[in-house]
A and B are shown apart, each in its own frame.
Chain A
Amino acid sequence: MSQDSARVEQAALEADRERGPVLALLRTSVGRNAGLVVALLVICIVGAVTAGDRFSSTDNALTVLRLASTIGVVSIGMTFVIIGGGIDLSVGAIVALSSVWCTTVSTQLMADDTHWIVMVGVALLVGGACGLVNGLLIAYGNIVPFIMTLAMLASARGLAEIISDKKTQILGAEGADVSGFKDFFNREVIGVDAQIWIFALVALGGWVLLNRTTFGRRTVAVGGNPEAARLAGINVRRQTVYLYVLVGVCAGIAALLLVAKTTTGTSTHGNLYELDAIAAVVIGGTLLTGGRGTIVGTVLGVLIFSTLTNIFILNNRSFSEQSLFKGAIIVAAVLLQQRLASRSTTT
């Protein structure tokens, strides 16, 4: 009954008005992001109190950002897929495969003649190709995203193991000249690492893409109401393919950052990245059901997690404790989100 739901909706809106401005503000994306900034500040205060100067220094801030950059790039791509109504569990495996493939280029194939730009191209291409396979099978093969990307998770890492023979491939070990690659990704620009700049550029590009382009508008439409989007003339399947290619390319970029950071390519790179990325996106206020989410929220989500990790390390707490705490934060964030969402989407 449409009349019924209209009335319920109206009642919810009125209830909001009575409940006061704070809750109403928290329901807007700007308000939610403000909430995340407050949460991040609180975490920073905890860090400053418990670890003192070791936490609150420029060097440490850069450490946190370096930590955030790799997973951050993946999370930006993940934000698009989730807003578009999908999910990608294979990002970690794609990172591994891209890292192995691009280091293989530098160590084997005509290694001496290989310019480092080829490595970059290969990583992006491998990531994009994995995304293309995901997207095509999801959009045109009607495979549920969860299952399709689960299959990709298994096979991409498997392929990475086959190519690398389960060995860690060290960048430039075979005498190829990869100094250009290392120089590019490890240089500093205005005192900040290139890695962090790349994350910043990807985030900025993501924001523009989501908020200022037809691509972004279509993504929101497809995730929010695929049937309405289809009947409005949007090519829902094609958009879905684009989204998975996008997240695949993001995973390729993340692979390059990892290879530069560790000077290795291995099939164990990017382990559990999918979970960290999804967690950051969810904390950032993007609905897992699709149709709503922000890039700013995701960036804040990534920063919250990397700052927490940093504080745990500075205080010599174990990785296990970290994981436990992360889990609790995810549950708390989702509970809060549901309480807010249930008021706005009652039907």
Chain B
Amino acid sequence: MRTGDQTLLRMTGIVKEFPGVRALDGVDLDVRAGEVHCLLGQNGAGKSTLIKVLSGFHQPDAGTITWNGEETSFSTPAKAIEHGVATIYQELDLVPHLDVTENVFLGHEVSRAGFTQRGQARTLVRDLLARLGHSEIPPTRIVGELPPAKQQVVSMARALSRNTRLLVLDEPSAVLDQEGVANLFRVIRGLTAEGVAIVYISHRLEEIREIGDRITVLKDGRTVATGLAVADTPTSELITLMTGRSIEYVFPSRPKSDHTRGEVVLDVQDLGLAGVFAGIDLKVHAGEIVGLAGLVGAGRSEIIETIYGARKASTGTVTVDGSRIRRGSVTSSVRAGMGLAPEERKSQGLLLHEAVYSNITVSSMARFSRLGFLDRGAERSRATELTTSLDVRPSGVGRAVRTLSGGNQQKVVLARWLMRECRVLLLDEPTRGVDVGARSEIYQLIRSLADRGVAVVVVSSEIEEVLGLADRVLVVREGVVVHESAATSIDEAAVLDLVMEGKVPA
């Protein structure tokens, strides 16, 4: 082992609760100086919340953090930085219009009497970049002009400029090509040799095999295994640790026979979006639920947004009930009978300050208007019928949507498309931010929509959700469909294996 045995960070029994959700429920993690510690777990297992606790963005509700042998708390991000914890998020937080030096020293500029010492700062940055093995990046270059891989190096230089002792990397390889990953690993090895500890989050097992020393596995907010030596743990054991859930969701039963399956409603052919995904073929029948499984960033959301016309396809066609949809036009998609419940419900789905009823009728206003004048009485009464049958609480269609909980807001979005009597319903992460209790209601609702003859496409990061809800499953990895089968003929472990390694299950 390359590591010294000195424990730098020890987190014990960390609990973090959000209303309705226990995001962390007793997490243990210990990280040694000079090691690469891999954090593994499915989406929603609590990895993001854990690193936010570690970097001072969230305060744990229970548990202790020991840093270098002393109990401490990271009460603010500044405090965490002061202790030497630096985090590099997936979404790089650089200022694109500033140059490399200005970005590295953002917030702690090299200055004397209030004047920035530009020359000195550049020399320091040159040293840092050399230490990271990237002396070819000019300190005066505007960051926005650099490719993502080099921007990541700048981010790391920023972390090092603050005397970092623990570096958290959240899916760092997501923005990199093969050569970039090799460079990244070279840098990581250099850092660990200097005694810096690395917490490395990735879904790619082959990377973990190459760079990691030890592994901690999270599931449903708990640590299920910690300190596993990478060399001694077979992949099958890791997959087993990550799958299987302590909470069982109740999924509605599928229709008994295949005979109920209707004609093809949604027909997608050779759909592609330059640089994101390509060659998507998809036929969805009336009454069928098709699930898209894959990691965040695999292109799932982009696929359904492109089907919907919210993004303009670069190749391919989308047809609903035989009529072709104009590329990149949401208006014509909606007219043809498509509906989308977007991933970001608050920012993309709802008019938060408007009343429940106007959120429900917004896509079917034509039905309630004559010569442009709205019949608000009819709007309210039809909306009330829907909210009653969907059990939206609290009742009362006049209240602003923002006062509803996540699950009830999702019901409002679904009610909108019920009102529209849409033919195709696209659902992006339908249970995100929805309380555990309300989930089965949402599942039930989606199934009953399908039973009425709607063709449904569901995207979800939670594999169990896709498998439990859908009739047919497509697995997407890096913009390509790598597997397609009936939902009942594949299990969670096999899907996880597919999205992580891209191999056909044995």
Interface of A toward B, CB cutoff 8 Å:
1-7, 9-10, 13, 212-215, 217-218, 220-221, 224-225, 227-235, 291-292, 344-345
Contacts beyond the supplied A231-B348, A233-B330: 10 A-B pairs with Cβ under 8 Å: A2-B432, A3-B406, A6-B19, A213-B369, A225-B351, A225-B352, A228-B348, A228-B350, A228-B351, A235-B331
Nearest-neighbour CB distance to chain B for A92, whole angstroms, equals: 30
Q: Which residue on chain A has the smallest CB distance to residue B331?
A: A235
Residues of A near B376 (CB, < 8 A) are 212
**Which residues B10-61 have CB closer than 8 A to chain A?**
18-21
A7 partner, pick from B18, B363, B432, beta carbons under 8 A: B18
The smallest C-beta distance from B49 to any residue of chain A, in angstroms, reads: 9
Residues of chain A with a CB closer than 8 A to B366's CB: 214
Provide 15 A-B residue pairs closer than 8 Å at the C-beta atoms, listed in order of the A residue.
A3-B433, A6-B406, A6-B433, A9-B403, A212-B373, A212-B376, A220-B354, A224-B354, A225-B352, A228-B350, A229-B362, A231-B308, A233-B331, A233-B362, A234-B331
B340 beta carbon closer than 8 Å to chain A = yes
- Does residue B238 face the partner (Cβ distance < 8 Å to A)? no
In angstroms, Cα B376 to Cα A231, docked, is 23
- Which residues of B403-446 are within 8 A (CB) of A? 403, 405-406, 416, 432-433
Chain B residues within 8 Å of A233, by CB: 330-331, 333-335, 362-363
Is B374 part of the contact surface with A, judged by Cβ < 8 Å? yes
A-B contact count (CB 8 A): 93
B87 within 8 A of A: no
Indicate if the CB atoms of A3 and B362 lie closer than 8 Å: no
Query: Closest CB-CB distance, B337 to chain A, in whole Å?
Result: 11
| Residue in chain B with minimal CB distance to A238 | B331
Choose one: B331, B363, B405; the contact of A6 (CB below 8 Å).
Answer: B405
Are the CB atoms of A213 and B373 closer together than 8 Å?
yes
Give B358-379 interface residues, CB cut-off 8 Å to A: 358, 362-363, 365-366, 369, 372-374, 376
Say yes or no for B342: interface residue by CB 8 A criterion: yes
Given A3-B433, A227-B347, verify A234-B372 contact (CB < 8 Å): no
For A3, the closest partner residue in chain B by CB is B18
Name A's interface SS.
helix
Interface residues contributed by chain B, number (CB under 8 Å): 40
**B393 close to chain A: CB less than 8 A:** no
Is B110 an interface position by the 8 A CB rule? Answer: no
Q: How many Å lie between the Cα of A235 and that of B331 in the bound state? A: 6
Bound form: Cα–Cα A20–B335 in Å: 46
In the complex, are the beta carbons of A9 and B402 less than 8 A apart? yes
Which residue of B is nearest A230, CB measured? B330
Q: Is the CB of B362 within 8 A of A234?
A: yes
B350 touches A2 (CB 8 A): no
Judging by beta carbons under 8 Å apart, are A2 and B433 in contact?
yes
Whether A1 contacts B372 by the Cβ 8 Å rule is no
Counting CB contacts under 8 A, is B353 at the interface? yes
Min Cβ gap B279→A in Å is 25
> For B342, what are the chain A residues with a Cβ–Cβ distance below 8 Å?
231
Which chain A positions have C-beta within 8 A of B347?
225, 227-228
Interface residues of B in 376-403 (CB under 8 A from A): 376, 402-403
**B241 touches A (CB below 8 Å):** no
Q: Is B310 located at the chain interface by the 8 A CB criterion?
A: yes
In the complex, residue of chain B having the shortest beta-carbon distance to the beta carbon of A5: B346
CB of A217 within 8 A of CB of B362, answer yes
Q: Which of B349, B350, B358, B402 contacts A217 (CB 8 A)?
A: B358
Are A7 and B19 interface neighbours, CB within 8 A?
yes
Question: Which residues of B are found within 8 Å of A220, using beta-carbon distances?
Answer: 351, 354
A221-B351 CB under 8 A given contacts A3-B433, A231-B342: yes
Residues of B within 8 A of A5 (CB): 346
Q: List the A side residues contacting B21 at CB < 8 Å.
A: 3
The residue that A214 contacts in the complex, of B333, B340, B374, B405, with Cβ under 8 A, is: B374
Residue of B nearest to A347 (CB): B346
Would you give the shortest CB distance from B393 to chain A, in whole angstroms? 14
Closest chain-B Cβ to A226's Cβ sits at a distance in Å of 10
Contacts of B402 in A (CB 8 A): 9
Q: Which residues of A contact B372 (CB under 8 A)?
A: 213-215
A residues near B349, Cβ cutoff 8 Å:
228, 231
Asked if A232 and B374 sit within 8 Å, CB to CB, the answer is no
Of all chain A residues, the one with the shortest Cβ separation from B404 is A6
What's the nearest-Cβ distance from chain B to residue A66, in Å? Answer: 32
- Which among A220, A221, A228 has the highest number of chain B CB atoms within 10 Å? A228
The list of the 3 closest CB pairs from A to B, nearest first, reads A233-B334, A3-B18, A2-B433
Contact A217/B403 with A3-B19, A6-B19, A233-B363 known, Cβ cut-off 8 Å: no
Residues of chain B within 8 A (CB-CB) of A2 are 345-346, 406, 432-433
> B18's contact among A1, A214, A217, A227, by CB below 8 Å, is which?
A1
- Shortest CB–CB separation between residue B283 and chain A, in angstroms? 24
For residue B242, give the distance in angstroms from its CB to the closest CB of chain A. Answer: 23
Give the residue among B20, B340, B351, B353 with the most A Cβ atoms within 10 A: B351
